[in-house]
Amino acid sequence: MRAAFKAEVKLINSDGSVKIIEYVAKVRPNNLMPDIQIHSADALMYQASALLLEEFKNELGQCHRLGMTYRKKCVKLQIVWPAVVIEGSIDDPKQIYFFEKALKGL
């Protein structure tokens, strides 16, 4: 099980404007020796699932057997791409965070 908390990331655009992006940062509390491979595998699984969900979303959005209400909800599905953030060296990390973009309710 992971502990989750709010994380805000400041993004500075090429034009100098600043945007704050809200993420959910997750940490494995029982992971005494942080291991990048575990988090990398999780990130790859999330990305593979997101690709499948995107295809599923497109198919459902075009399915005329579904009522319009459900088709509109399908269009609103949001795909989340995760990130793995390392604190310290990649070979000997002090802490590893698994970031997911925070989604607002529909």
Residues 6+ apart with CB under 8 A from 88: 94, 95
The H-or-E segment that residue 24 falls in is strand 18-27
Q: Report yes or no on whether pTM surpasses 0.85.
A: no
Residue 15 has pLDDT above 90, yes or no: yes
DSSP secondary structure letter of residue 104: -
Give pLDDT tens digits for 44-92. Answer: 887 788 888 888 888 888 888 888 888 888 877 777 667 777 787 777 7
